[in-house]
């Protein structure tokens, strides 16, 4: 799994940082999303998917990598 963001579309709603603080933060400078871990471990993958679903601007994309 990989996390990708489109920072240019982020409006700083903060839902990602609120629901998955292990994976996302907000910049002190402009409040936009910052990815802390773009390859989350298995135990955080559900949180990454939740953040993707909750993002009001669809900034977050969770890409599932195929095995092998």
**2: closest CA among 34, 37, 33, 26?**
37
pTM of the model: 0.90
Does the pLDDT of residue 9 top 70, yes or no? yes
Residue 68 confidence (pLDDT): 39
Exposure pattern of 15-53 as b/e (b: 16+ CB <10 Å)?
A: bbbebbeebbbbeeeeebbbbeeeebeeebeebbbbbbe
Quote the distance between the C-alpha of residue 22 and its chain's center.
10
Q: What is the pLDDT of residues 10-39, one digit of tens each?
A: 999 999 999 999 999 999 999 999 999 999
Q: Which CATH number fits domain 2-63: 3.30.70.20, 3.30.70.2700, 3.20.20.80, 3.30.70.580?
A: 3.30.70.20
Please report, for the chain, the start and end positions of each structural domain, with discontinuous segments joined by +.
Answer: 2-63
pLDDT for residue 7 is more than 70:
yes
- What residues are paired with 25 via a beta bridge? 34
């Amino acid at each position: 799994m990989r996390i990708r963001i489109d920072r240019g579309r982020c409006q700083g709603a903060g839902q990602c940082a609120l629901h998955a603080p292990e994976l996302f933060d907000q910049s002190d400078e402009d409040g936009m999303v910052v990815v802390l871990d773009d390859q989350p471990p298995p135990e955080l993958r559900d949180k990454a998917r939740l953040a993707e679903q909750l993002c009001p601007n669809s900034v977050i994309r969770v890409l599932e990598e195929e095995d092998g």
